[in-house]
A = this chain, B = another copy of it.
């Protein structure tokens, strides 16, 4: 247990090495899958002019900003999310890259919220976006990436579901039911709250539009064929990819933020025991809005935070086992044991030579008993211990996994180490 006297600020986290290794396991999975999909990594500044977020925002975000005045009297904000910077940077650099831009980022985000399980004031977010392509094929590529991130972490069809919806289907529904264009955001707000509102509350809101809640329920539960042409194209694509089993149409998904324009989706654990693992969708007008209409780029993207997915890994036995196996091999290759005070120079020469070959090597930084050094070697998770003493140039190479030992001469050292660590 960490010493409680030395805590970070509420809602902020310390990653001591064991926790940082879990974080890196997640980051590596995200990066690996993004790379397989041909996405390029980008990074924006951690602090932006507040104006950028206010231009984009919607929902409750403006009340949760870490917003300050800096020493130069600028109104600045520590980023609450990554898409605003993406829009700004994509607008700045779009001429230099072939479109569509397939870009991803992993970065810290900051929101002043009440800290609780799965909700932090600083959290990591993985964002993947495709800019400059309006087709449903782009949505298919993006959703396939999201699914493969889950698969990479060991999750199966039994563990999660991608709920896909289409705002355009709702916009058509609304206009068929007489909703005026300027009222559509308010109407979508009602759909967004549909699952959480009590039925009478929902109906009361719908009364303003002379629509019955029953019509909403029917549309969600039995979407008419062709309700969303884009969804049909998406499903054809995902079926050809072998990924259709991870997805279902669920028109109750609308997503709160005002800037979504088309297909939207959310990933949930199948038990729905946690908040959404990821969410995203099409935002064809955002880059235009962020650039004051100087640059117009259709776009689709999603974000996956680190907190919920980490909980889900922990509560899903096969995903947890996969993570534990990945972390178990984190110890160094060779732990040097200096059995004689006079052998310091030889120990150091061997350490340098092994490290130059790419091995991870630890060594004593003070002279202690051989047994103490060996205990440390075992505790550190090293694969092997190399004991250098008075018998040098003959040494002892100990396999700490198999608990076997063999003498090794200086001339045979590299071969012996390569065969023990499995690197040849």
| Contact A8:B43 (CB < 8 A) given known A344-B240, A365-B135, A379-B98 | no
Give residues in A with beta carbon < 8 Å to B.
1-10, 12-18, 20-21, 23-24, 35-38, 40-49, 66, 68, 70-72, 74, 76, 78, 85, 88-89, 91-98, 100, 102-103, 108, 110, 112, 121-122, 130, 133, 135, 137-138, 141, 144, 148, 236-237, 239-243, 291, 294-295, 332, 344-349, 351-352, 355, 358-366, 376, 379-380
Do the beta carbons of B8 and A351 come within 8 Å of each other? Answer: no
Least Cβ–Cβ distance between A299 and chain B, in angstroms: 12
Number of copies of this chain that the complex holds: 2
| Contact A9:B349 (CB < 8 A) given known A137-B366, A365-B138 | no
Do the beta carbons of B46 and A122 come within 8 Å of each other? Answer: yes
CB-CB under 8 A from A332, the residues of chain B are 38
Which of A37, A45, A351, A364 has the most C-beta atoms of chain B within 10 angstroms of its own C-beta?
A45
Do the beta carbons of B48 and A8 come within 8 Å of each other? Answer: yes
Do the beta carbons of B291 and A89 come within 8 Å of each other? Answer: no
Least Cβ–Cβ distance between A56 and chain B, in angstroms: 13
Pick 23 A–B contacts, CB within 8 A, sort by A: A2-B92, A3-B93, A3-B94, A8-B48, A9-B48, A12-B48, A14-B44, A14-B89, A15-B44, A16-B93, A18-B96, A21-B40, A37-B361, A38-B332, A45-B122, A46-B110, A47-B66, A47-B78, A72-B112, A102-B362, A137-B365, A141-B365, A241-B349
